[in-house]
Amino acid sequence: MTPNRITLISLGVTDLARSRAFYEALGWQLEEATDDVAFYDLGGSKFGLYHLHKLAEDLGKPVDDLGRGAMNLCQNYPSENEVDQAFQAAIDAGATAVKSPEKIFWGGYSGT
């Protein structure tokens, strides 16, 4: 488990098509997309444009609580056990739990 890394930056957006058009006009190459998220490779990590209502759902928060500039800095791990260990390490270091690790609607396993 490597603690000092960010594997995904997710930016909450209200208009995914407009946001994609902006980054792609800058020359960013789309790697993968669904109706709710678009991913761009950053050469070792990923940048995601995430529909704001889905980001709120993922965090278990009302959209209005997120405000402007809503985003996530994420660390991905290959197993649920490693997610649990990283989450507990963060709590032990003084983090405030927003959501304990659990299986997520999009198919992953995460905590915040």
pTM of the shown model: 0.79
Query: Residue 49 falls within a domain, yes or no?
Result: yes
Contact assessment for residue 7 and residue 71, using Cβ atoms and an 8 Å cutoff = no
Give the structural domain span for 46.
8-110
pLDDT at 103 over 80: yes
Query: Residue 2 falls within a domain, yes or no?
Result: no
Query: Residue 60 falls within a domain, yes or no?
Result: yes
Query: Residue 70 falls within a domain, yes or no?
Result: yes
pLDDT for residue 45: 92
pLDDT for residue 3: 67
Query: Residue 24 falls within a domain, yes or no?
Result: yes
Query: Residue 1 falls within a domain, yes or no?
Result: no
CATH no. for residue 37? 3.10.180
Between strands 46-51 and 8-13, the pairing is parallel
Query: If you average pLDDT over residues 3-7, what whole number do you get?
Result: 80
pLDDT for residue 1: 59
* Location of structure tokens 């208009």: 15
How many independent structural domains does the chain possess? Answer: 1
pLDDT tens figures, 45-79: 999 999 999 889 888 889 998 888 898 888 889 99
